[in-house]
C-alpha cells in the first residue's frame, strides 16, 4: 500500500496537470503533464500512454471509465442524466463547451477543467463570484463519483502500475484537499 506523497505543487497546479493528463490526446502531452505532477517514476512516453489507455480510454473495456454518469446513473451508458446536470451547471458557471454532444460534459478531464478554471478565478483573480457553484460542483457532484472512480482503478493499479497509482493518488489527494479546505471567501 502506498501512501500519498506530500504535496510539492500548489492545488491549482495539481488540478491543472491532472486535467491535462485526463485530456491528453497523445503520449507527449500525457507524459508532459505526468512529469509536471512531480513524479519520480521513470516510464517511457509509450508505456505511460499504453497503460493509461488500458485504464481509462480503451479501446478495450477500460479498468475505470472516467465519466460521472457511469458511477451515478448507469455503469454502461454515458450522456445520461448526470451529464445533462453538469451541462446545465457549466452554462450557469458561464462556460460554453465546444465539444457539446461530442464528449460528454462529465468526462473527468472536462470536470477538472471546470474546477481548475473556477479555482483560478478565486486564487489568481480574486473573483469569488462563482465560488459557491464551485463548492456545489465539488461536494455535490465530483465528490460523489470521483472517489469511486479512484477506488476502482486503484484496486488494479496498486499491484500493476506505479504510474497509474501515482496519478490516482494525486487525484485523491487533490480531492481530499479541496473537500477539506475551509475558508470559502465571502
Partner 1 sequence: MSYSKENVESIVNNGLSRRSFLKGLAASGVLSSFPGGILQANEDLNTKIPYLGQKSYQTFRNACPRNCYDTCSIKTYVKDGVMQFIEGAQESTYTRGGCCVKGNSYVKRVYSARRLKYPMMQVGGKGSGNWKRISWDNAIDIIAKKLLEIKKEDGTLLGAALTKYSGNFGITHYGIEGMFNSIGYTTRLAGTPCWPAGIDAQNLDMGDMWCNDPEEMKDSKFIILWGVNPAANSIHSMKYIYEAKKKGAKVVVIDPIFTETASKASQYIQIKTGTDGLLALGMAKIIIEAGLHDQKWLDANSKGYKEYKAYLDKEIKLDDVAKTTGIPLAMIKELALSFAKAKPATIWMGYGMQRHTNGGSMIRAIDAFVAVSGNIGKYAGGARYGHLSTWGFNYAALSQPKPEGSVGYSGPEGAKGEFAQVGGAKAAYTDRFLNINKTARELLNAKEPKVRLLWVACKNVFAQDFDRNQLIRAFQQLDLVVVADQFFNETAKWADIVLPVATQFEEYDVNVSYWHYWLSLNEQAIKPLFEVKSDLEIAAMLSKRMNQLSAGSCTFPQSADTKAMMVKEFNPGIYEQFGIKSWEELKNGPVKAKAVIPYADGKFKTPSGKFEFYSDKALELFGSALPAYLEVRKPYDKFRMTSPHSRWSLHSQFQNLEWMEDVHPEPYVYINPDDAEAKMVKEGDTVAVFNKQGLLRLKAKLTDNVQAGTLLMYEQWYNNNIYNVNELVDDTSSDMGAFKTGAPGVALHDTFVNFRKL
Residues of this chain that interact with partner 1 (CB under 8 A) are 19, 23, 25-27, 46, 49-50, 53-54, 57-61, 65, 67, 70, 74-80, 84, 87-92, 94-103, 109-110, 113-114, 116-117, 120-121, 124-125, 127-133, 135-136, 139-140, 184, 186
* Distance in Å, CB of 1 to partner 1, minimum: 27
Return the number of the residue (54 or 152) whose C-beta is nearest partner 1: 54
Angle ∠(113,67,8) on CA atoms, nearest 5: 45
Return the number of the residue (10 or 26) whose C-beta is nearest partner 1: 26
Return the number of the residue (136 or 158) whose C-beta is nearest partner 1: 136
Say how far apart CA 14 and CA 8 lie, in whole Å.
9
Beta bridge partner(s), residue 107: 67
Return the number of the residue (89 or 154) whose C-beta is nearest partner 1: 89
DSSP character for 9?
A: S
* Distance in Å, CB of 113 to partner 1, minimum: 4
Q: Which residues contact 70 (CB under 8 A, 6 or more apart)?
A: 76, 77, 78
Alpha carbon distance, N-terminus to C-terminus of the chain: 40
Return the number of the residue (5 or 156) whose C-beta is nearest partner 1: 156
Quote the radius of gyration of the chain (alpha carbons, Å).
16
* Distance in Å, CB of 78 to partner 1, minimum: 5
List the grid coordinates of 45: 512516453
Q: Whats the size of the chain, residue-wise? A: 186
* Distance in Å, CB of 156 to partner 1, minimum: 14
Contact (Cβ atoms closer than 8 angstroms) between residue 5 and residue 161: no
* Distance in Å, CB of 146 to partner 1, minimum: 16
Amino acid at each position: 500500500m502506498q501512501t500519498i506523497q506530500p504535496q510539492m505543487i500548489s492545488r491549482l497546479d495539481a488540478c491543472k496537470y491532472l486535467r491535462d493528463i485526463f485530456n491528453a490526446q497523445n503520449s507527449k502531452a500525457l507524459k508532459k503533464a505526468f512529469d509536471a505532477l512531480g513524479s519520480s517514476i521513470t516510464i517511457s512516453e509509450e508505456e505511460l500512454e499504453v497503460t493509461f489507455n488500458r485504464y481509462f480510454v480503451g479501446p478495450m473495456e477500460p479498468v475505470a471509465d472516467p465519466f460521472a454518469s457511469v458511477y451515478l446513473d448507469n455503469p454502461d451508458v454515458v450522456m445520461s442524466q448526470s451529464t445533462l446536470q453538469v451541462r446545465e451547471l457549466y452554462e450557469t458557471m458561464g462556460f460554453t463547451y465546444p465539444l457539446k454532444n461530442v464528449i460528454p460534459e462529465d468526462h473527468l478531464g472536462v470536470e477538472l477543467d471546470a474546477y481548475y478554471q473556477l479555482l483560478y478565478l478565486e486564487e489568481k483573480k480574486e473573483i469569488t463570484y462563482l465560488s459557491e457553484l464551485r463548492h456545489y460542483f465539488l461536494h455535490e457532484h465530483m465528490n460523489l463519483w470521483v472517489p469511486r472512480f479512484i477506488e476502482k482503478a486503484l484496486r488494479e493499479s496498486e499491484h500493476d502500475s506505479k504510474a497509474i497509482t501515482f496519478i490516482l493518488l494525486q487525484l485523491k489527494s487533490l480531492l481530499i484537499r479541496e473537500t477539506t479546505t475551509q475558508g470559502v471567501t465571502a
